Amino acid sequence: MKDIMLKITGKQMSGDSEEDKLEFITEGKYYEKGESIYLLYDESEFSGMEGCTTSLKITGDIIKMKRFGTNIKLDTEIEFEKGKRFKGYYDTPYGSVEMEVLTNSIENNIEKSKAAGSLNIDYHISLRGLSEGRSKLDIVII
């Protein structure tokens, strides 16, 4: 397991324009197991999920994101794969909400030999009764 720094940028889009942007830099861990790359990092107060850990399992162009920790009642899992829909639950401070994710595109530019690079995910997310929109998640190993 290797210590790394991650720059994480999340964007919520409205039409073709950027609506909200959240960007932070955090310490994380990098390791490989089989054909997969794993990135782990602790969420912060800044992200609104203090006390949670996020794990990304990257296998080619399929990404599984898992959030778990003391401040959420239900572990959240999301699977991103271009053109595929994923249904699950998203835990909020007010309870769990049914969620559906449609992945538009994934760019995996992580070089295993250097444990460096970037990961870009463009997706639509629908949280039943709360919100619906397009989001982009950019993660850079710095």
- Written as six digits, the tokens of 4 are 């790394």
Place of tokens 């999340």: 10
* 139 closest CA partner among 109, 112, 111, 114: 109
For residue 71, the SS3 value is coil
pLDDT of residue 111: 92
Question: How large a percentage of the chain has pLDDT more than 90?
Answer: 56
Question: How large a percentage of the chain has pLDDT more than 70?
Answer: 85
- Written as six digits, the tokens of 81 are 């794969």
Distance CA 54, CA 42 (A): 6
Stretches in the chain below the pLDDT threshold 70: 15-18, 44-50, 71-74, 92-94, 129-130
Distance CA 6, CA 57 (A): 15
Give Cβ neighbours of residue 33 (< 8 Å, ≥ 6 apart): none
pTM of structure: 0.85
- What fold is seen in the domain 2-141? Lipocalin (2.40.128)
pLDDT of residue 15: 61
pLDDT of residue 103: 97
Which residue type, as a one-letter code, is found at position 129? Answer: G
